[in-house]
Amino acid sequence: MSDDINRRSTLKLLGAAAGTLSLSGIAASRTRTNGSHFADVSDDQITEWRRTYDFGGNDVATDVVHTSGGYVFAGSTATESSGSDAYLAAVNDAGEVQWRTTFDGDGVQKIHGLLKASVGYILCGEGDSGGVVIKADDEGTEQWRTNLGTEIADITQSINGGYAVVGLQMDSDADVYPMLAKLTMDGDVEWTKNYRTDVGPSYFNAVVATRDAGYALAGYLDLNGNWTVKTDSEGNEEWSTAPREGEAEDVYLTADGDILSTGSVVGSGGFSPYLTRYALDGTVRFTTQYDAIDADSASAVTELTNDDFVLSTDEFGLLQTDSEGVKQRFEDYDGEAHALVSLYDESVVIAGTTGGDDADAVLAKTRTLVDSGSEDGDDQRQNATEIESGEQVTDTLTGTYDQDWYTFPVEQGETVSIDWSLTSPEDATLNYDYRLRTPSGESTGDVEEYAGEPGQYYIYIRPDDADIAPDPEEHQYQFTVTVASQTDGDDGTEGGDESNGSDGSDGSDGDGGVDVDEDEC
């Protein structure tokens, strides 16, 4: 082969921000139930199917994740006789219940957040002993439990290992403050931060890990409104904003590392959903308020691979916007939406409740929300070659327009390493990204990246200069992908017990008039 080839070959790592494609899958059922009902939907709606689940009380689904066998969702069932009990349920791709686990005998009343671990699930919520974080295996059997604070609202996988949770914590004077805490993979509490405000009651609803190993938080700041906070890896506040009356319900990390905040803001006609995009340093990219739709708030947000955003709204609505937050479509149905997850086929699943007395939990799956076919040969993903971690791949490209596709599953929090080489040209450039879009980074050597989103990930290899005429000369390449999980602590050992620690202030002040207290555990 020639040593003076006048172009570069490109290796691109791409991933759909889809639901988790678990390597372990769903094991045999623990509890079978037939309490689900399928609702027909018309061809002109974007909903593919909608199922309700009657678990014997006032039922609500508060969070949902995608698995290799379907979906797992969590929530609570309330009855007059026994109060509120938390549950975890698995369904297949059609929404049919496979198993369901309850925590009625364990004092766990509500589940607010759910995370797919490399093996099993991490749940957070509240119970008889206050805030609780639970690790369950693939069948929903509890492996460890950590009690922390008075309530845990959400959980995320930390880039530097373990988990981060947000909630409320009470100090020795019985004052309650918003809290961010860091846990190990075994559930031991490493540290907690309390965010003392100089106003009235405030709290966090959501947390997401950011690319710089910090965290973005969403919540409510009394007398101010929708509250978005960015911290470093130790929970120290870097910036904080509460620009409008309302409440931030969810926070999400985009494919290129920006922060999305969504919830409600007040306008001339009452409350409306909003979407704000922040750069990592707090610069506002855009902010949009949706007054013209029949909704008061957005409960969750995710991103599609064409850069569109999808929001679930309070009355079980779905709002799709373009990359600048401009509304593209909106549909709503009866009920209340609490969470959503994007899938490999560019659809989403929304979790919530029918609402009212004797409510049922609800899951609804949409049809594909992205038009088929796009640039960069995205349609070729259907023919991608499946590869395994540790497998060495060697192949050849022939011509400018030739390209090869490979795919493998990655769970959130895993690390993807690529060791690669091209025999011609030797100085080829490596472009990579974790979404099916324009690459956001490049390297002339090996790559090691944290998987901020679970999903089916792709590598495609092609010549970089698309405007050159086809060249029959061969270009040989070789690479190895290694997917590594964090140590998961699956030996069933208990995490920490009550881990609130002392509540001494570190005296630091945040930008929004918030004092941050640190508890080292």
Q: What is the pLDDT of residues 326-360, one digit of tens each?
A: 999 999 988 999 999 988 778 999 999 999 888 99
Sign of the four-CA dihedral 225, 229, 234, 238: negative
Measured CA to CA, the distance from residue 87 to residue 103 in angstroms comes to 6
At 450, the amino acid letter reads Y
Among 165, 257, 321, which residue's Cα sits nearest to residue 453?
A: 257
How far is it between the farthest Cα atoms of the chain?
Answer: 80
CA–CA distance, 354 with 457 (Å, rounded to integer) = 35
- Can you give the pLDDT at residue 208? 96
Question: Cβ(74)–Cβ(361) under 8 Å?
Answer: no
Structural tokens at position 45:
């709606």
With 60 as the cut, is the pLDDT of residue 375 above it?
no
Which position has the higher pLDDT, 353 or 398? 353
The reported pTM is 0.74
Q: Kindly report the length of the chain.
A: 521
Helix, strand, coil percentages in the chain from 3-state DSSP, rounded to 5: 0, 55, 45
**Domain ranges, ordered by start, for the chain:** 47-366, 381-485
The reply to whether 47-366 and 381-485 are identical in fold is: no
Please give the Cα distance from 115 to 341 (Å, whole number): 11
CATH code of the domain made up of 47-366: 2.130.10.10
| Residue 279 and residue 286 in contact, taking contact as beta carbons nearer than 8 Å | no
Question: Under a CB-based contact definition with an 8 Å cutoff, are residues 422 and 475 in contact?
Answer: yes
Mean pLDDT of 470-474: 52
Residue 370 and residue 436: Cα distance in Å, rounded?
12
Q: Per-residue pLDDT for 35 more than 70?
A: no
User: How far apart, in whole angstroms, are the C-alpha atoms of residue 36 and residue 54?
Assistant: 6
Q: Which residues pair with 322 in a beta bridge?
A: none
Q: Which positions ≥6 away from 347 have C-beta within 8 Å?
A: 48, 365, 366, 367, 368, 369
pLDDT in tens, 187-239: 999 999 999 877 778 999 999 999 899 999 999 998 778 999 999 999 999 99
Beta-carbon contacts of 86 under 8 Å, excluding residues fewer than 6 positions away, are 74, 75, 76, 102, 103, 104, 108, 109, 110, 111, 123, 125, 127
Least confident of 24-28, 62-66, 142-146, 257-261: 24-28
Interval 429-464: pLDDT, tens: 434 443 433 333 344 456 676 666 667 777 766 655
- CA-to-CA dists, residue 108 to 111, 147, 489, angstroms: 8, 11, 22
**Least confident segment among 84-93, 151-160, 183-192, 379-388:** 379-388
Tokens 């929903």 correspond to: 140
Average pLDDT of 368-385? 63
Residue 308 banded pLDDT, cuts 50, 70, 90: very high
Residue 286 has pLDDT above 50, yes or no: yes
Which of 257, 264, 260 is closest to 243 using CA atoms?
264
Q: Which pLDDT band, with edges at 50, 70 and 90, does 400 fall under?
A: low
pLDDT of residue 110: 93
Q: 114 and 74 in contact (C-beta within 8 Å)?
A: yes
Considering Cα of 435, then 436, then 441, then 444, what sign does the dihedral take?
positive
pLDDT at 493 > cutoff 50:
no
pLDDT at 519 over 90: no
Q: Which CATH class is domain 381-485?
A: mainly beta
Give the CA distances from residue 97 to residues 29, 34, 88, in Å, rounded to whole numbers and listed in that order: 9, 7, 11
387 or 413, which is more confident: 387
Q: Do the beta carbons of residue 203 and residue 186 sit within 8 Å?
A: no
Q: Assess whether pLDDT exceeds 90 at residue 167.
A: yes
* HEC assignment per residue over 200-253: CCCEEEEEEECCCCCEEEEEEECCCEEEEEEECCCCCEEEEECCCCEEEEEEEE
Which pLDDT band holds residue 281 (cuts at 50, 70, 90)? very high
Model confidence at 50, in pLDDT bands (50, 70, 90)? Answer: very high
| Residue 372, pLDDT score | 56
Residue 113 or 386, more confident: 113
- Predicted confidence band at 144 (pLDDT cuts at 50, 70, 90)? very high
* Predicted local distance difference test score (pLDDT) of residue 521: 37
The least confident of 106-115, 291-300, 368-377 is 368-377
